[in-house]
Amino acid sequence: MPELPQPTTPSSLVGVSYVMPVLNDASHVRAAVESILSQDYDGPVEVLIALGPSIDGTGELVADLATRDARVRVLENEVGSTPAGLNIGIRAARYPVVVRVDSHSMLPVDYARVAVGVLERTGADNVGGIMDARGETPFEQAVALAYTTKVGLGGSAFHVGGHEGPAETVYLGVFRRTSLERVGLFDETIKRGQDWELNRRLRETGGTVWFTPALAVTYRPRSTVERLARQMFSTGLWRGELARRFPSANGIRYFIPPVMVVGVAVGILLGVAGIVQAVMGATLWLLLGFLVPVVYLLFVIAATLRYARHRGAAVAARFLVVLPCIHVSWGVGFVLGFLSLTSNIAKHTGR
C-alpha cells in the first residue's frame, strides 16, 4: 500500500518576512500592520517596519506596535525614501520569502498563504495581484474609481484585473529573497516606479513576474485634490525618468497623458493667439486650437457618464475633477522627468 502524503504542519511552511517602509503615515500604519498580524498563514513570520524620519507621531506608534508583538521589528531608515526602506528591510529579513507591504494597503487574511502557494506552484521570482482601491469619502471613492478604470491609470492588470500569468509588473509583490539578491535589490536612485524597474531586471535575468487576480490588496487613495496631485506629479516625474532611461521597455500607454498635456497646452496657446488675431482683424484659423482642450473636456464628461454616473451625484461630480487632476499632474510630471529634470525637482520638493 503506498504511503499517504503527510498533512502540512506549521514547521514545514517557509518563513515570511513582511517589509514595510513608513514615513509620516500615522493615520494608516496601524491598520496596515494589523492586517499583517491577522494573516492565516501558519508558517513563521516577522514584520519589518523601515521607519523614515517622521514628525507626525508615526515613530511612537510603530514603537508601540513593536512592544505589543514580538514579531514586529522597527528599523531606522535615515534616508527616508521607499527604496532605501525596502532594502533595509530585505537585508534584515530572516526568512526566504519577502512580502512588500505599503502603509496605505490592507492585506486580505489569506494573502501570504495564497502568494506562497503561487510561488511554489509557478516557480516565479515575484508574485502579485490587484491594487484594489477603496475610498470612504465621495472624493476617495472617485479616486478609487479612476484607479480601477482604463481611463484613469492606463488599464494595467494590477489596476483593472486580468488573467493569471506572466506580467510586466505587479502591485507590491511577494518575492523570493534569493531573486532580490540576484538582481541587487531595489535601485535607490529611483524614488518612485522602483517596483517596475526591479521587475524589469528580474525578467531580463531570466526570472518570472507572475500576476494572479487571486491576490487583491485593499488600497486607501489620497483624500484631497492637493494630495492626489502631489502623488500623481511625483509618479509621473519618475515614470518620465524611467522612460528616458529605458526607452525600449515602456509601453505606449505611458506616453498618452504627456501627449495630452502638451496637446492641450499648445491648443490653448494657439486659441489665445487666435483671439489676438481676431482683435487685429486677421484670419481666425488659430482659434481652431481650442478644439483640443474642448475634445479633452468632452472625453472627461463622457468618461464620467460611463463610469461614475451610477455611483451617485457626489462621486460623479468629484470624478470630473479627479480625472483631469490625475492626467494633468501625471502628464506634466512625465514631461519634466523625461527632460532629465527629475533630480533637481526631487531635491527641492522631496519627491
pLDDT, tens only, 58-98: 889 899 899 999 999 999 999 989 999 999 999 999 999 99
At residue 321, what are phi and psi to the nearest 5 degrees?
-90, -40
The more confident residue out of 298 and 12 is 298
Distance, CA of 82 to CA of 84 (rounded, Å): 5
- 3-class DSSP state of 94: coil
In this prediction, residues 33-57 reach a mean pLDDT of: 92
Mean predicted lDDT score pLDDT of the chain: 87
For CATH 3.90.550.10, list the domain ranges present in the chain.
Answer: 10-221
- Distances 286 to 140, 172, 192, 262, 265 between C-alpha atoms, Å: 39, 47, 39, 17, 14
The three cell numbers of residue 12 are 514545514
pTM attached to this predicted model: 0.80
Task: Indicate if the pLDDT at residue 332 is higher than 90.
Answer: yes
- Distances 170 to 128, 159, 216 between C-alpha atoms, Å: 5, 9, 11
**Side chain identity at 221, as an amino acid letter?**
P
Distance, CA of 209 to CA of 24 (rounded, Å): 31
What ranges make up the beta strands (E) of 101-208?
105-106, 126-133, 165-166, 171-176
CB atoms within 10 A of CB 22: 27
Please tell me the number of Cα atoms within 13 Å of 19 on its side-chain side. 30
pLDDT, tens only, 85-134: 999 999 999 999 999 998 888 899 999 999 999 999 999 999 999 888 88
- Say if residues 83 and 15 touch (Cβ distance below 8 Å): no
- Distances 14 to 45, 48, 96, 112 between C-alpha atoms, Å: 9, 17, 7, 11
Fold of the CATH domain 10-221? Spore Coat Polysaccharide Biosynthesis Protein SpsA; Chain A (3.90.550)
- Distances 275 to 268, 269, 281, 282, 290 between C-alpha atoms, Å: 11, 10, 10, 10, 10
- 3-class DSSP state of 39: coil
